[in-house]
Amino acid sequence: AQSVAQPEDQVNVAEGNPLTVKCTYSVSGNPYLFWYVQYPNRGLQFLLKYITGDNLVKGSYGFEAEFNKSQTSFHLKKPSALVSDSALYFCAVRDMGRGTGRRALTFGSGTRLQVQP
Amino acid sequence: EAGVAQSPRYKIIEKRQSVAFWCNPISGHATLYWYQQILGQGPKLLIQFQNNGVVDDSQLPKDRFSAERLKGVDSTLKIQPAKLEDSAVYLCASSFINEQFFGPGTRLTVL
């Protein structure tokens, strides 16, 4: 079974400061990892993904994430936070699969990011 | 390109009533998913379709939930009868290869 842990319910950061939202995962095989953002009354918006290759992945809106296989982590980062980054962030994982065709994502419980002016 | 469409956006019903949600995926996306997102939690898969076939419905409460994708394009999710604990946002997503694109969701309140 696959699982995702987001240990922080909320992260507070001042505008202009760097931010990190933590995520650790567990899968039986090699992982596909994703970050999504959710604004109020809206669906999930894709930020970035790790499939293979470079451990540092760059995504939308200046976000990036670092894949660390030994620590089974995929933390989301941004060098300089904006007030408009305030939202709910979800980390998700799926196993690369064994030919079953199952591609559903397993999501963490979410981390609310609050950026203060 | 148009995104994933869902309707209705909001629905309020009383327990034991039935309700149906509709989803139209992004054109050309063969895979369609229904997720349930309870307040304060991450989305959880209910069912995955590949074209018009079911790939994974292991977490679908089949005594009350049903879903279909008859022509391999749009899909409906039905709950009958609804329970209080079904109050949630129901998200539809579609994918071509790896990345899933989500619709705005239907917020269901069961009174």
Rounded Cα–Cα distance for residues A57 and A63 (Å): 9
The bridge status of strand A10-14 relative to strand A111-116 is parallel
Distance from CA of A7 to the nearest CA of B (A): 13
**Could you tell me the CATH number of the domain that includes residue B70?**
2.60.40.10
Residues 45-64 of B with CB under 8 A from A: 45, 48, 50, 55-56
Domains in chain A, start-ordered, CATH in brackets?
A: 3-116 (2.60.40.10)
State chain A's mean pLDDT as an integer: 92
Rounded Cα–Cα distance for residues B68 and B57 (Å): 11
* Domain region containing B77: 5-110
Rounded Cα–Cα distance for residues A43 and B90 (Å): 10
**Reported confidence tier of residue A43, pLDDT bands at 50, 70, 90:** confident
pLDDT exceeds 70 at position A98: no
Q: What is the mean pLDDT of residues B6-26?
A: 97
Which amino acid does the sequence have at A7?
Answer: P
Question: Domain count of chain B?
Answer: 1
The per-residue pLDDT for range A2-27, each reduced to its tens digit, is 899 999 999 999 999 999 999 999 98
- As given in the structure block, the two tokens for residue A43 are 């669906």
The per-residue pLDDT for range B81-91, each reduced to its tens digit, is 999 999 999 99
